[in-house]
Amino acid sequence: MNPLNQEPLLSLDALPDGALAEAQAVIDGESESLVVYRSGEAVRAWLNVCPHAGRRLDWAPGQFLKSREGQLVCAAHGAAFELERGGCVAGPCRGDRLRPVAVEVRDGQVWLA
């Protein structure tokens, strides 16, 4: 196991309710950027890769756009994703979805599950 995965992705305290954050993890031997989202006590994560053209979703590391409706908006061409299941609801990859990454909360920290 890569030592990166023996560390938490981030502290729950650093992720207020409704916030999006970026974290790094090693998945299948590759270092990946993740987008991590908190909704109440639930935390979800996806690869920080847009299904449209494979670009990062953030406009600068960890800086994600959110629409007034609370959707994650890709900084490259504006695809909008709902944050329950990561489905694209508008834009060039409508109907596609973000690739989920299983995470869990333990001892106030977010970990890969």
Q: Contact positions toward ligand FES, by CB under 6 A?
A: 50, 52-53, 55, 74, 76-79, 91-92
Q: Closest distance between ligand FES and the C-beta of residue 56, in Å?
A: 8
Nearer to ligand FES, 45 or 48 (CB): 48
Nearer to ligand FES, 23 or 93 (CB): 93
Phi, psi of 23 (to 5 degrees): -140, 155
Nearer to ligand FES, 20 or 79 (CB): 79
Nearer to ligand FES, 42 or 53 (CB): 53
Q: Closest distance between ligand FES and the C-beta of residue 43, in Å?
A: 23
Q: Closest distance between ligand FES and the C-beta of residue 92, in Å?
A: 5
Q: What is the 3-state secondary structure (H, E, C) of the chain?
A: CCHHHHCCCEEHHHCCCCCEEEEEEEECCEEEEEEEEEECCEEEEEECCCCCCCCCCCCECCECEECCCCCEECCCCCCEECCCCCEEEECCCCCCECCEECEEEECCEEEEC
